[in-house]
Chains A and B, each alone.
Chain A
């Protein structure tokens, strides 16, 4: 199943890139060969938002508590993006329970493929690196299976209460998504994340299981999805794109 998803995802990426290139190619014959004005890389504002899925999960469920704040600043069609968040999970296991709590941030760049959109609507691809700082605890009952050559258990079952106090971890991710201007400064959109290369440091008693911001450490790649609402604070009006006939 993961290989099929990977296959679909790679083909989709290819399709999107080819489609965007084809659009450019379609436009070229109509455009006159005139020198375009240089790109203005000075930022025109910043967006600040939050992930609605985290808030809904926190309010409706009992196993997850978390929030995430997202922000980005434009530099022409490049965006510097920063996400800061926190999550805590409390999971009932088949033979015990697991809980964790921690903070994380992600930082990276998005490239808007709708560079000429006058409203600055975005269909983007991006890259992020993430860092997480968390603690986790695990308690469970272990049993020694019966000794293969005798019909009784050698050691009685044991209860373990284990904790990792300060675990640090990191990962990388590629992102894609949409940001659409809904009304005045209100923006909505989604970000889908393909997270990979997780690493942790500091987990001794427990092999780190769930890293805030990433998810289950033993699974790579791992998916993430945010449905976000933003407010854009603009200090500069964007220049309309002008074409001379």
Chain B
């Protein structure tokens, strides 16, 4: 019985154990609360803009500047007026009843003597995502696909099928490239 009591109360061991347990508890509580209060930065990579680049048909590495008399955004009353660009950001319709957007381009030559109208209709899946409680929720557009187009298949190359932007970047280069169109 005496031996049993001896084992039951080995003072040094108990002291080390108690100390270790207290330190463990303290560190876990500190770590827990620091994790609870860390909401993270409000970095949002969601966008409804599609990034299209225009390249030369003869050399896909070279940019080509395309003149648009207008670009009509389907599902909206808005259109983009005369523009000359080597790349564009085109907004897809955020209306929750729509899962596709059609763009109508009127492309012209340099003296506007020759005009051509092309269409591009893209479909997508919209997924809501809560970024953080304070940042709120955003729509992510994924599974982007061409539903209908007047461009021939060799003229369009698909890159990313999600609409994304680098939240730390700026300008058109911070948007993921979705399509390249060759002229």
Asked if A242 and B16 make an inter-chain contact with CB atoms under 8 angstroms apart, the answer reads no
A140 touches B136 (CB 8 A): yes
Bound form: Cα–Cα A94–B89 in Å: 27
**A8 vs B20: C-alpha distance in the bound complex, in angstroms?**
14
B4 touches A207 (CB 8 A): no
Most chain-A Cβ atoms within 10 A of its Cβ — which of B3, B34, B93, B133?
B133
| A36 at interface by CB-CB < 8 Å | no
Asked if B38 and A155 sit within 8 Å, CB to CB, the answer is no
Known: A144-B94, A245-B3. A152 touches B78 (CB 8 A): yes
Query: Closest approach, in angstroms, between the C-beta of B115 and any C-beta of chain A?
Result: 21
Query: In the assembled complex, how far is the CB of residue A56 from the closest CB belonging to chain B, in whole angstroms?
Result: 15
How many residues of chain B get a CB closer than 8 Å to chain A's CBs? 52
- Contact call A176/B137, Cβ cutoff below 8 A: no
Q: Is the CB of B80 within 8 A of A159?
A: no
Residue-wise, chain B 92-113 has the 8 Å CB interface mask toward A (1 for contact) of: 0111100000000000000000
Stretch in B21-29, B54-62, B148-156 with 4+ CB within 8 Å of A: B21-29
Asked if B158 is at the interface of the complex by the 8 Å CB criterion, the answer is: no
Query: Which residue in chain A gives the minimum CB-CB distance to B171?
Result: A148
**B91 interface residue (CB < 8 Å to A):** yes
- A154 interface residue (CB < 8 Å to B): yes
A1 CA / B48 CA spacing, docked (Å): 32
| Alpha-carbon distance A113/B29, docked complex (angstroms) | 21
Q: Which residue of B lies closest to A96 (CB)?
A: B137
Q: List the A side residues contacting B80 at CB < 8 Å.
A: 147, 149-150
Contact among B3, B48, B128, B134 with A144 in the assembled complex (CB-CB below 8 Å): B48
Would you list 25 pairs from A and B whose C-beta atoms are within 8 A, ordered by A residue?
Answer: A5-B34, A16-B24, A26-B12, A27-B10, A92-B133, A96-B137, A98-B137, A114-B17, A116-B7, A118-B8, A123-B17, A123-B20, A138-B128, A140-B128, A144-B94, A145-B47, A154-B91, A160-B137, A162-B128, A178-B25, A210-B130, A223-B35, A241-B4, A243-B7, A244-B3
